[in-house]
Amino acid sequence: MGQLYPSIRRAPKSRRTFGGIRRWLIAAAGALALTGGLTAVGPQASAAGLTQVTGFGSNPGNLSMYTYAPDTLPDDAPLVVALHGCTQSASDYYAHSGWPKFADQYKFALVLPQTTSANNANSCFNWFDSADSTRGNGEALSIKQMVDTAVARYGSDTRRVYITGLSAGAGMTANMLAAYPDVFAGGSIDSGLPASCATSVSAAYTCMYSPPDKTPAQWGDLVRAAAPAGTTHWPRVAIWQGTSDTTVAPANATELRDQWTNVWGIGQTPSRTESLSGGTTLSEYDDASGEPAVSVYSISGMAHGLAVDPGSGAEQCGTTGTYYLDTICSSYHTARFWGLDGGSSGQPPGTLPAPTGLTVDGTTDTTVNLTWDTVADAASYNVYRGGTKVGATTSASYTDTGLTTGSTHTYTVAAVDAAGAVGTVSSSVTATTTGYTPTCTTANNYQHTAAGRAYQSGGQTYATGSGQAMGLYNTFITHTLKQTSPGYYVVADAGC
């Protein structure tokens, strides 16, 4: 595939030229193929069915806008933005990806942005450049202006705008989801990288071949920093990755999963897994309402590219080509994940607003009592602990029972209307039950100190809180420490 594009030099004014990675065209598979592939279709070509739209805004990223819409597009239909890879074009992606089939079948409009060698020598979206990939800047703003224009042109439902992309287009997709969570209800990152993984060419290569092993919170913080302050609602994210990809290391899928599950406030353990066709394993991570918020599609043996499955079957789509790989129709499964087929996860949510005033009204050793302000027209309320529904009530209060002494929990609530539609989930509150359950840990003095259970001074080790002497600060002396209250440890070598 083309590549990321390593050396950057800026031309006067807003147009950019990127110095090139000469070995990309020689070893395409090793290139940033955040790209789409070296196809015969030139970047300026346009396929039948595509319409070029001009005058869609100030266009600071110097992009071109192409659209496709079925003849009988209803009002308030969804809108999907699809970003090509390096060396590709809008028409190339339109012809191979399979998205037009589902635009016709499920009735939604497509926007296919296009970049050129005037922006990047390999016609890549500049996902690794903050001047192009952050809110209100460069290519990112041009794409946002295309969305605004398409919404007005087709009467699209602003609650159902989605974005997808391959390789470099996937890198830009991740950044767009982070920068514009108020615009996109969902995204699909195909053979791509975490949002804000790189802000320079050298960092881009690191991300591609050996992504940083950040904690979920560290990855999530990058998204929260890119989003508007106070954002509480996030896009649903599909992640597609081949296990034999040598251009974008499969570890990127894990880091992406960690990033977006953390943003959603859910854990990294799948709610369920499923085997699909083409050697694909689907792992789903549910939100507080039980709908998949993050879905990871791992395709065994697939190299770098977009998963397609040519044929006329209901679950088939696309055509093969350079970096369009015959495995499974990713566009079909992504459309279903977003609910474009009429599934519940992609339909407009219940219209009831999020309850306000959620408060912890009291705790005991085993219970937490919650109260909140009533919501007009609410028939009931769902209560979620740690993202999992734990109860329902018709009043604006709830008592969670059977909890562990001294345990901490996070709660949210959502109003439910008379038809059973769940409204927007509230902001969260945290509660800790009273009492404390002691825990014991046996380790050497070095390990205790590294974990914060002890500290060292003058070469000696002391228990945190109690200050009890534990001997020399080394790996040879072992003790059992008992935590009797938060941050307070005592030596318990005689038994715990």
Known catalytic residues are 167
Burial label, 447 (beta-carbon count in 10 A; 0-12, 13-18, 19+): middle
In angstroms, the CA 366 to CA 404 distance is: 6
H-type helices in 58-212, by residue range?
A: 90-96, 99-106, 130-133, 138-154, 168-179, 201-209
The number of angstroms, rounded, from the C-alpha of 1 to the middle of its chain's C-alpha atoms is 24
- Strand 109-114 and strand 79-83: the pairing is parallel
3-state DSSP call for residue 321? strand
Q: Which two tokens stand for residue 237?
A: 């994210």
Show Cβ contacts of residue 66 under 8 Å, excluding neighbours closer than 6 positions. Answer: 46, 50, 51, 52, 53, 90, 91, 94, 111, 112, 113, 114
**To which residue do tokens 């320079």 refer?**
200
In angstroms, the CA 416 to CA 288 distance is: 14
In angstroms, the CA 200 to CA 126 distance is: 10
CA dihedral 197, 199, 205, 206 (to 10 degrees): -50
In angstroms, the CA 465 to CA 486 distance is: 9
CB 28 within 8 A of CB 2: yes
3-state DSSP call for residue 252? helix
- End-to-end CA gap in the chain: 60
3-state DSSP call for residue 284? strand
* Amino acid at site 25: L
Ranges of beta strands (E only) in 375-468 are 380-385, 388-393, 397-400, 408-416, 422-425, 429-432, 439-444, 454-457, 460-463
CB 279 within 8 A of CB 292: no
3-state DSSP call for residue 450? helix
Closest CA to 79 of 185, 200, 226, 201: 185
